[in-house]
């Protein structure tokens, strides 16, 4: 093999060539060493091998960027060497050197993955240009691979960001949906509260008109001239009775408001419940003549630390209900007894139709009245207030139906109260 002389501009060309690690493999030692010397002169790191086995060994031992391999005429061994050596070093660039008569072997090597070929005798400038171009190709391929890796990493980050963004959007959507549901529920409760308020206003107007109309009518009658004293006294009795009724209604409304807002308070003191309930029944007997009242009481006294006015208010509400819902001529049975060393009980029983089982859970709610008894006047606050008073005393209000015929079995309301003040009273707020 012959190497052509170096032209005058070779120095300037060498300054533009890239550095790299090159392996020159040629069975002709002289040619291999000459090419290696030229490339070293250009600044490359060059190793030499004089057989394919030596070349493979060097490739396994040290990193190589470019392989210059001699391809003899009709020799396919170096062509078959291309793929294995590229397997050892995937970024390796291969240039084969051939004679004019070895083009078929060169094509075989190119198909196998060689980058380029040089024709012997090798021109020095052509050698430098091909080597520079091959290493530049390798550099660009590596940069492209790095850019592709960066793009894949960026794509992965974008994909992760999109997934995170979708998750955040889904979470925000779910949270917004929850807020919308909460807002819908708040609106529903607001509408319900408004409806209850409207019913309350209508009920108050209706209930107050009940005692006010007789008061006005009988007051007008009392103004007539020349009325006998007996008539005036009768009119006055009716006016007083209706005024008391109106006063009780105002008390009920005030108590219900305090219970619902949590401002309900008690003034506890020792109270003989037998005596207090007995006086209450005497008042009912003097004003309600169409019912018979039965009072079952122990021989002695039953004293508990309670708010007497509130407890009597609660029992009065139960007796009022018993009077309203008892059948004509039916008895109202009131019983007081000491249940244990720590508790006392008061029960009120009517002789009406009783309370349907399905209605019992809601009868203690405000403004609740049994639909089939809608013709009976009432505010629907009595049981609500009674339960609130009992609960404020750390007691319990229960209701059952008495045994007997469906028509006349009656309902029994029972108040259980602690005799002593509990260490910590239950809250007065009742929902």
* pLDDT-based confidence at residue 50 (cuts at 50, 70, 90): very high
> Residue 271 phi/psi, 5° resolution?
-140, 130
Please tell me the predicted confidence (pLDDT) of residue 374.
46
Name the residue with higher pLDDT: 309 or 208.
309
Rounded to whole angstroms, the Cα distance separating 69 from 28 reads: 11
Secondary structure class of 167 (helix, strand, coil): helix
Most confident of 86-90, 153-157, 404-408: 153-157
Could you read off the pLDDT of 206-254 as tens digits, one per residue? Answer: 667 778 888 888 888 888 888 888 888 888 888 888 888 788 777 777 7
Would you state the structure tokens that stand for residue 243, as one six-digit string? 């005024």
Rounded to whole angstroms, the Cα distance separating 270 from 355 reads: 34
Domains and CATH numbers, the chain: 10-122 (3.40.50.2300), 203-255 (1.10.287.130), 264-418 (3.30.565.10)
Name the residue with higher pLDDT: 141 or 74.
141
CB 318 within 8 A of CB 386: yes
Rounded to whole angstroms, the Cα distance separating 375 from 126 reads: 118
* Mean pLDDT to the nearest integer, 106-115: 78
Please tell me the predicted confidence (pLDDT) of residue 277.
93
Residue showing tokens 């000491």: 338
Most confident of 45-49, 52-56, 67-71, 251-255: 45-49
Half-sphere exposure at residue 99, Cβ-oriented, CA atoms within 13 angstroms = 8
Secondary structure class of 47 (helix, strand, coil): strand
Name the E strands within 99-237.
116-119
Please tell me the predicted confidence (pLDDT) of residue 305.
93
* Mean pLDDT to the nearest integer, 370-396: 73
Could you read off the pLDDT of 335-349 as tens digits, one per residue? Answer: 999 988 899 999 999
In percent, the amount of the chain with pLDDT more than 90 equals: 32
Longest dimension (CA), the chain: 160
* Mean pLDDT to the nearest integer, 401-414: 73
Could you read off the pLDDT of 163-183 as tens digits, one per residue? Answer: 999 999 999 999 999 999 999
Please tell me the predicted confidence (pLDDT) of residue 15.
42
Most confident of 4-18, 108-122, 291-305: 291-305
Does position 362 have pLDDT exceeding 50, yes or no? yes
Please tell me the predicted confidence (pLDDT) of residue 295.
93
* Mean pLDDT to the nearest integer, 29-54: 92
Please tell me the predicted confidence (pLDDT) of residue 101.
58
Q: What is the mean pLDDT of the chain?
A: 81
Q: What is the pTM (predicted TM-score) of this model?
A: 0.50
Most confident of 73-87, 281-295, 394-408: 281-295
Please tell me the predicted confidence (pLDDT) of residue 428.
45
Distances (CA, A) of 179 to 28, 155, 164, 183, 191: 85, 35, 22, 6, 18
Name the residue with higher pLDDT: 298 or 101.
298
Please tell me the predicted confidence (pLDDT) of residue 226.
84
> Residue 108 phi/psi, 5° resolution?
-60, -40
Rounded to whole angstroms, the Cα distance separating 264 from 259 reads: 5
């Amino acid at each position: 093999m012959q190497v052509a002389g170096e032209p005058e501009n070779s120095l300037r060309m060498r300054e533009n060539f890239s550095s790299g690690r090159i392996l020159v493999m040629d069975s002709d030692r002289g040619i291999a060493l000459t090419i290696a010397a030229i490339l070293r002169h250009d600044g490359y790191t060059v190793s030499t091998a004089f057989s394919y086995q030596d070349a493979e060994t060097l490739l396994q031992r040290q990193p190589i960027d470019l392989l210059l391999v001699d391809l003899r005429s009709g020799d396919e061994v170096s062509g078959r060497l291309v793929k294995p050596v590229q397997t050892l070093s995937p970024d390796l660039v291969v240039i084969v050197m051939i004679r004019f008569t070895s083009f078929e072997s060169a094509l075989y090597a190119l198909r196998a993955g060689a980058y380029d070929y040089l024709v012997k005798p090798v021109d020095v400038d052509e050698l430098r240009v091909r080597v520079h171009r091959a290493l530049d190709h390798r550099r660009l391929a590596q940069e492209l691979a790095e850019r592709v890796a960066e793009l894949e990493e960026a794509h992965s980050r974008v994909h992760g960001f999109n997934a995170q963004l979708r998750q955040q959007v889904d979470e925000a959507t779910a949270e917004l949906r929850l807020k919308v549901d909460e807002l819908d529920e708040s609106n529903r409760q607001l509408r319900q509260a408004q409806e209850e308020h409207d019913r309350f206003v209508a009920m108050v107007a209706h209930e107050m008109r009940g005692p006010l109309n007789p008061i006005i009518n009988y007051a007008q009658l009392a103004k007539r001239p020349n009325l006998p004293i007996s008539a005036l006294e009768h009119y006055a009795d009716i006016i007083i009775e209706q005024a008391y009724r109106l006063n009780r209604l105002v008390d009920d409304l005030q108590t219900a408001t305090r219970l619902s807002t949590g401002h309900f308070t008690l003034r506890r003191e020792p109270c003989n419940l037998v005596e207090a309930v007995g006086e209450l029944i005497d008042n009912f007997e003097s004003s309600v003549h169409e019912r018979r009242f039965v009072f079952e009481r122990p021989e002695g006294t039953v004293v508990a630390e309670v708010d007497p006015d509130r407890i009597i208010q609660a029992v009065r509400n139960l007796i009022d209900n018993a009077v309203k819902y008892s059948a004509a001529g039916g008895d109202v049975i009131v019983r007081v007894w000491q249940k244990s060393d720590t508790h006392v009980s008061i029960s009120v029983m009517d002789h009406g139709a009783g309370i349907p089982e399905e209605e019992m859970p809601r009868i203690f709610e405000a403004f609740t009245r049994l639909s089939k008894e809608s013709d009976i006047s009432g505010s629907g606050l009595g049981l609500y207030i009674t339960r609130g008073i009992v609960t404020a005393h750390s007691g319990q209000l229960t209701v059952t139906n008495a045994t007997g015929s469906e028509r006349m079995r009656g309902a029994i309301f029972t108040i259980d109260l602690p005799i002593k003040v509990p260490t910590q009273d239950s809250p007065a707020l009742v929902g």
